[in-house]
Structure formats: structure tokens, C-alpha cells
Amino acid sequence: MPSRQDTAEKTRELLKKVRRIQVRADRLVNDVVVGEYRSVFKGRGMEFDEVREYQAGDDIRTIDWNVTARTGVAYVKRYVEEREMTAVLLVDLSLSGRFGSSRQLKVDLATEISAVLAFSAIKNNDKIGLLIFTDRVEKYIPAKKGKQHVLRVIRELLSFEPTAGGTDLAGALEFLNKVLKRKAVIFLVSDFIDTGFERDLALTRSRHDLIPVRISDPRETSLPDVGLIELEDAETGERVLVDTRRRKIRDAFAATGRGEYESFSGLLRSMGIDSLEVSTDRPYMKDLLGYFRRRERRNRS
């Protein structure tokens, strides 16, 4: 059992981490991201406000036939734009995220980009929620507004320790579809090392604005020539000895990685979903802004 001193030290370290990521995310959002975010996400659309008598030039598609039939006078429905939006971070923190061969671990990249998205949401006066999952739903925080709420979201991400190693995307999506009663923007942050989630992904896509944020590392699709190495599956613990001096083995490893990547990309294309792709070996801001600008162009077309 940890002592009170150990607990206090861990708390101090956590607060330092929260502060570092807050400063970095806040700066990026203020300098670059928030304008792009606002131009892409414009709320849920138009919400019914009232009915009024038909006037020359009104679109006949807005006529309220029930009211018109009761009164004998043509009435139209009036709508107003509903600005407030709900966004939810659906973050995979399974053990496969504890890997990274370059600038940072996948889990660190997932946490930082989640923080940027969360700060972007509250600066746009939107609500932000969080669901952390592994092979089960680990933590769910309903969407709220405010800086203190975002800081809680970041603390939960930074302090999380998985109780299980695997990944269950289908279970996380199923849970979210049950608890969310209104349309939301879902940022699904994961390396997508899982199978059998296609049906739940399609269902979420039909109900919400689903944005997969795929986290990757270059060593998942290529092996260096460094002799004998032992590879371990972070989620299952399975180990295998690999001779990376053999080109045939390196090529087979690369082909498997490319095949998995292309298979998932094909699945997203078939559903009409555009993903945000980020990797541990490069800064993510260019990828994030590029994604927002592609979305904005599609919204205008």
C-alpha cells in the first residue's frame, strides 16, 4: 500500500503534467486551431422555433400542413440555428498505446491531441465529454462546458492506468450509442488494433458526426535491420524472436502492416468516413489543420 508521501508525490507529478499539457494545448488552440474548428463545426443545424402565417416568397416546403388544416390559413415553420454542440472524446487507452519508437508514445500523442480538441470545443462554447476504454468501458464523463471540466478530462487521461490489456471498440461504441440521446461529434482516438467493430462503427456513423483519429507509429509497418530482436504483443503478452537481418522477414512484416492499414482505410471509405491520421514520428498540427480544411471544403461544396 503506497504511503501518504508517495501519494502526495504522485499527485504533484500529475499536476505538473496537467499544467504542461494545458499550457501547450492552450497555446496551440489560441494561435492556430480554434478558428479552423469553428469554421468546420457549426452546431447541430436548424431547430424549430415557431409557426407564422405564410408570406409571399416563403419556401412551400416549410408549410406546416397540420396547422394550416386546423386554421384554414397557410402557416410555415420557422427555424433558428442551434449553435451549441456536444463533442465526445472516445479514447482507446489499451496497452498497445504504451508503444512508441520516435518522438513519443502513442498514448501520449492520443492524450495531447485529445487535449487540443477539448480546449477547441470549450473555446467554441461547446460541451465536451470523455469515454476511456480498453477491452471494457473504463471511465465515462458526461459532456459539460468550462475550463475546469476540460482540466478534469486531461487529468483523467494522464492518470489512467488500464485494468485490462485488450481493445473492444465495438463495446465502447455500443455504450456511447446508448448514453447519447442527441447527435454529437465523436472523436474516436485509437490505433484501431481490433476486429469485429464494423457494425457498431456504421451505426455510430449514422447517428453522429464520427471522426476517427488513427494513432500510429512507423515501427508498426517497418522493421530495421538490427539483428535478432524479441517482439512482444503489448495486449496479449505474446513474444516472438525475429531475425531482422533477413529481408524476407522485414518485407513480410511491412506487407502485413500495410495490409491492415489499407483494410481499415477501405472500410472507412466504404462508409463515407474521412479519418484524421497522426503518427508518433511527426508533429500532429499539420495533420489536424489539414483535416479541418478538407472538412471545410466539403461543407462548402
Domains of the chain plus CATH, in order, are 85-217+273-295 (3.40.50.410)
- Would you state the pLDDT for residue 76? 84
Angle formed by the axes of helices 147-159 and 106-123, to 10°? 170
* Proportion of the chain above pLDDT 90, given as a percent: 44
pTM metric for this prediction:
0.80
User: What tens digit of pLDDT does each residue of 1-55 get?
Assistant: 555 665 667 677 777 878 888 887 877 787 778 778 877 876 545 555 567 788 8
For 148, other C-beta atoms within 10 Å of its C-beta total: 10
- Would you state the pLDDT for residue 300? 73
Which ranges constitute the DSSP H helices of the chain? 4-28, 34-40, 65-71, 106-123, 147-159, 169-179, 198-207, 247-270, 285-300
- Would you state the pLDDT for residue 272? 93
User: What tens digit of pLDDT does each residue of 90-136 get?
Assistant: 999 998 888 878 778 999 999 999 999 999 998 888 999 999 999 99
How distant, in Å, are the alpha carbons of 88, 138, 233 from that of 92? Answer: 13, 10, 16
Which pLDDT band holds residue 263 (cuts at 50, 70, 90)? very high
User: What tens digit of pLDDT does each residue of 275-301 get?
Assistant: 999 999 999 999 999 999 898 888 776
> Which grid cell sits at 219?
515501427
Higher pLDDT, 144 or 16: 144
Helix, strand, or coil here: 78?
A: strand
Angle formed by the axes of helices 147-159 and 4-28, to 10°? 120
The residues, ordered by sequence, that sit 6+ positions from 257 with a Cβ below 8 Å of its Cβ are 220, 221, 222
